[in-house]
Amino acid sequence: MGENKKVILSGSTVTGDLTLGNYIGAINNWKKLQEDYNCHYFIADLHALTVQQDPKALRERCFSFFAQYLALGLDPEENTIFVQSHLHEHAELAWILTCLTPMGNLNRMTQFKDKSAQTKNINAGLFTYPVLMAADILLYQADLVPVGEDQRQHMELCRDLVIWWENRYGEGSLKMPEAYIGKAGARIMSLQDPTKKMSKSDENEKNFVSIIDSPKKIQKKIKSAQTDSDTVVTYDPENKAGLANLLTIYSVLSDKSVDEICKDYEGKMYGHLKVDLADLVVETLKPVQEKYDDLMKNKDHLEDLMAKGADKARVRAQDTLKKVYETTGLIFRR
């Protein structure tokens, strides 16, 4: 099953919680993606170690993230969902690729420059972060990798690595991946700064609704969402970006068109719309939160699902690692 489909691979670091933007992206895309592609999703817990973590909190966050994906409806039967550190192949391939990566290329990574400027004690893992990411991708012979703008340079390094590899060892063991630009769906923007995307790693909590925020928190965040001083509810993303964002969310969650919604609020204030939208978001996320709570109550079951995902992922990972060992002159263990 899924053998002839192209492979999509996507990793997620465990900072922040998934947002309403992720929810909307998920309901719009996941079903279709899982029909068309052989989808691999993983929790990048090894990447999380590049910054200092409290061990207990990290473990809890990994469980939570895994549960959040499942609660959003990612189906572990139809997709391969796993935890990065459960496959030692990631670290092994990362080491081999590290030995192929020129220092100079890593020195040029803007994310490293940004992050290391903000951190006092910089570790080598932060520096080689992009190589581990390349290993994640190449291990599964991924065709397509959905990444945001901030990960483009890392994607380029991954593609460079395939070229360096082929220059040294010849073609055949690693597949050249491409960045996957999904169809432009509804773009959900930050609640306080509607010019930028809603992001789970935003340092200002008021900018996003997390899928596991309490109803009270959701209501507060939506009511305080930035709008303009006009009073008429119209869809005008140029001049009324904040309101347009709320209307987009409303439209996606209610299945009503933006025009219909504007009509419904004729002669009413923005406040009315915000109150109703907040209720709608709370109602929408209710089943997600119930599922999440159930999953989090049973860690044993979660660990079983993680193990099943890892078993599925291991088939491809082993296949690649074997080729890599043979190509580089290492003896592949029996």
If one asks whether residue 161 binds ligand TRP (CB under 6 A), the answer comes out as: no
Select the span of 5-13, 71-79, 178-186, 264-272 touching ligand TRP (CB under 6 A): 5-13
Is 263 in the active site?
no
Closest CA to 246 of 314, 295, 190: 190
- Given its phi and psi angles, is residue 187 left (phi above 0), alpha (psi -120 to 50 degrees) or beta? beta
Which of 133/261 has CB closer to ligand TRP?
133
If one asks whether residue 19 binds ligand TRP (CB under 6 A), the answer comes out as: no
Q: Which residues contact 193 (CB under 8 A, 6 or more apart)?
A: 207, 226
Bridge partners of 210, per DSSP, are 19
25 three-class SS: helix
Q: Work out how close the CB of 148 gets to ligand TRP at its nearest, in angstroms, rounded to a whole number.
A: 7
CB 321 within 8 A of CB 139: yes
If one asks whether residue 151 binds ligand TRP (CB under 6 A), the answer comes out as: yes
Residue from 17, 45, 89, 136 touching ligand TRP (CB under 6 A): that is 136
- Letters for 24-63 (x = contact with ligand TRP by CB under 6 A, - = none) are --------------------x--x----------------
Q: How far, in Å, CA of 255 to CA of 46, rounded?
A: 39
Give CB contacts under 8 A, 24+ apart, made by 105-113.
Answer: 105/157, 105/160, 106/130, 106/131, 106/157, 109/153, 109/154, 109/157, 110/153, 111/150, 111/153, 111/154
Residue of 200, 221, 240, 274 marked active site:
200
If one asks whether residue 147 binds ligand TRP (CB under 6 A), the answer comes out as: yes
Q: How far, in Å, CA of 105 to CA of 157, rounded?
A: 8
- Letters for 228-247 (x = contact with ligand TRP by CB under 6 A, - = none) are --------------------
In total, the chain counts a number of residues equal to: 334
If one asks whether residue 153 binds ligand TRP (CB under 6 A), the answer comes out as: no
CB 26 within 8 A of CB 10: no
Residue of 115, 175, 206, 291 marked active site:
115
# residues near ligand TRP by CB under 6 A: 12
Amino acid residing at 245: N
Query: Looking at beta carbons, which residue is closest to ligand TRP?
Result: 11
If one asks whether residue 10 binds ligand TRP (CB under 6 A), the answer comes out as: yes
Q: Work out how close the CB of 244 gets to ligand TRP at its nearest, in angstroms, rounded to a whole number.
A: 27
Is 115 in the active site?
yes
If one asks whether residue 157 binds ligand TRP (CB under 6 A), the answer comes out as: no
Closest CA to 33 of 76, 78, 66: 78
State both tokens at 121. Answer: 């004690």
Residue from 9, 198, 302, 310 touching ligand TRP (CB under 6 A): that is 9
Is 297 in the active site?
no
Residue of 5, 6, 175, 197 marked active site:
197
If one asks whether residue 145 binds ligand TRP (CB under 6 A), the answer comes out as: yes
């050249």: which residue's tokens? 176
Binding site for ligand TRP (CB under 6 A): 9-11, 13, 44, 47, 133, 136-137, 145, 147, 151
